[in-house]
Amino acid sequence: MLKRVVITGIGGLCGLGTDASAIWSEMRAGRSAIGPIDNPLLHDLKVKIGCEIKALPEHGIDRKQLVSMDRFSLLAVIAAREAMQHSGLTAHADNTYRMGTIVGVGVCGFEAVEENYRAILIEKKNRAGIFTVPKVMPGAASGQVSMHLGLRGPVFGVTSACSSANHAIASAVDQIRLGRADVMVAGGTDAPLVWGVLKGWEALRVLSPDTCRPFSADRQGLILGEGAGMAVLESYDHAVARGATILAEIAGTGLSADASDIVAPTIEGPEAAMRFCLADAGLNPEDVDYLNAHGTGTKANDQIETAAIKRVFGEHAHSLSISSTKSMHAHCLGASGGLEMIACVMAIREGIVPPTANFREPDPDCDLDVTPNVARERKVRVAISNGFAFGGTNAVLAFKAV
C-alpha cells in the first residue's frame, strides 16, 4: 500500500504578498496585483505590464551567500524557510538525510545572464561574474534551499516550463512513497521579469496589453509574474508521530504528455493527466469540489482546458467551482503551481473558493462556473490543481481534507 503524503507547512511570495497568509488574503478578496513593471531597463518593450514583488521581505541572508544566488533561487529560499517554520520542523543530525527538496523552475537565472551580457557586450568587461554558472543553473534553487535548511536527502531540480512546480511536488510525493525520505520541501520558483525573457514572450504574441482575464470572452492573453510557492510534505505516519498540524493530504498526482506541438496544447493530454490524477487518488469525478485551472487567459488555453474538464467530469463539470488565480498573481511560470497549491490548501482549510478576477464577459466556449470576481463560500473536501505547459507536459495534483 502506498504511503499517504500530507502537507504540514506552506510558504510563498509573489506580487500579492510576501508570505502565504498575505497571498491567500488577497486571493480571497479577489484583488489583482497586476500592473506596470517598475524597471527602466524595459523601456523598449511593447508590453510593460506584469506582477512583480515590489519589495522583498527581510530575509537575513548575508552578502556572502547572496552573491551566489540569482533572484529565482532567493525567492525559493524565502518561501521554503517560511514553509519549514510553518511546519515546525527543523533538520538535525538524526533526520537530515531523511529530508530533501525538489524545486521546479521554468526559465531560471536570466537576471544573472543579462547582467553578464550587459557587462561584457555593453560595458566591455573582460569576463563574466565568478558565480555566473552556479547562479543560472536550473538546479540552483533546490541546492540553495537544501543548504539553507540543512536538507541532505533527495535534492534536485525539475524544469517543465509552466508545469514545473506541479512536477516538483509530484516527484516529491514519489520520494516519500518510495521510502527515500520522510520529509520533502517542494514547489516552484521563477523570476522572469527581465528584458530578454519578456522580449521572447512578446514575440510569441500571447501577452495581454492590460491584464489577465481567464475565461472571459474579451481576454487578450497572459501576463507574466514572479514568485515562489513551497510546501513541506511528510508521510502521514511521520506527521502524526510528531503531532504536526496537517493542512491537507496530497491524494494523487497525474502526469501526461501531448506529444503533439511545442506550444499548441491538445485536449487529450490535459484530459489524460486529470484522469490519471483521479485514479491515483482513488477519487470519482463527483468527489471534486474545486478545480484551480491552468487558466492562462489565452483564447486557446482556456477553451481547450474547458473542453478537457468537460470530458473528465461529465455532468459534474457544471457543479464544480473553478477559478484561475493567475488573474491575480499572473503567470509565474515555474512558480505558478506552487502559488496555486496555496490556493487549493487554503480553499480546503477555510471553505472559500478564490475567484477569477478581472472577469467581464461570459464566453460560450468557456461555459463552466469560473467563480467570476467574487470568492464563494463552499465546503471543499477535494481540490484539483491543473498544470499544463509548452512542450505538452501536463501535471495535475489532487488535494483533500484530512
Last residue of a domain, one of 241, 261, 276: 241
Nearest C-alpha neighbor of 230 from the set 30, 99, 395, 75 = 75
Query: How do residues 46-56 score in pLDDT, each as one tens digit?
Result: 999 999 999 99
- Check: pTM over 0.95? Answer yes or no: yes
Q: Does residue 364 lie within any of the structural domains?
A: yes
Write out the catalytic residue numbers. 162, 294, 331
pLDDT above 90 for 70: yes
260 lies in the same domain as 316: yes
pLDDT at residue 339, rounded to an integer: 99
| Other beta carbons less than 10 A from residue 314's beta carbon | 11
pLDDT at residue 20, rounded to an integer: 98
Last residue of a domain, one of 185, 219, 241: 241
pLDDT at residue 83, rounded to an integer: 98
59 lies in the same domain as 158: yes
214 lies in the same domain as 346: no
pLDDT above 90 for 340: yes
285 lies in the same domain as 189: no
pLDDT above 90 for 43: no
Number of domains in the chain: 2
Q: Does residue 236 lie within any of the structural domains?
A: yes
pLDDT band at 1 (very low <50, low <70, confident <90, very high): confident
Query: How do residues 199-237 score in pLDDT, each as one tens digit?
Result: 999 999 999 999 999 999 999 999 999 999 999 999 999
Q: Does residue 312 lie within any of the structural domains?
A: yes
Main-chain dihedrals φ then ψ at residue 7, nearest 5 degrees? -105, 130
pLDDT band at 170 (very low <50, low <70, confident <90, very high): very high
Q: State what percent of residues in the chain have pLDDT above 70.
A: 100
The CA-atom distances, in angstroms, between 123 and each of 70, 116, 118 are 21, 10, 6
237 lies in the same domain as 260: no
61 lies in the same domain as 201: yes
pLDDT above 90 for 165: yes
266 lies in the same domain as 231: no
196 lies in the same domain as 297: no
Average confidence score pLDDT of the chain: 97
CATH of the domain at 175: 3.40.47.10
Last residue of a domain, one of 208, 241, 274: 241
Q: Does residue 248 lie within any of the structural domains?
A: no
Distance between CA atoms of 391 and 368, rounded to whole angstroms? 26
Query: How do residues 315-333 score in pLDDT, each as one tens digit?
Result: 999 999 999 999 999 999 9
pLDDT above 90 for 354: yes
Main-chain dihedrals φ then ψ at residue 137, nearest 5 degrees? -65, 140
115 lies in the same domain as 257: no
pLDDT at residue 42, rounded to an integer: 87
For residue 214, the number of C-alpha atoms closer than 13 Å in the C-beta half-sphere is: 31
pLDDT at residue 247, rounded to an integer: 99
Beta strands in 140-226 (DSSP E): 155-158, 183-190
User: Hey, what amino acid is at 383?
Assistant: A
pLDDT above 90 for 109: no
pLDDT above 90 for 128: yes
pLDDT band at 40 (very low <50, low <70, confident <90, very high): confident
- For 254-264, what is the mean pLDDT? 97
pLDDT at residue 371, rounded to an integer: 98
More confident residue, 176 or 39: 176
Give me the domain span that covers residue 74: 5-241
Contact between 230 and 184 under an 8 Å Cβ cutoff? The reply is no
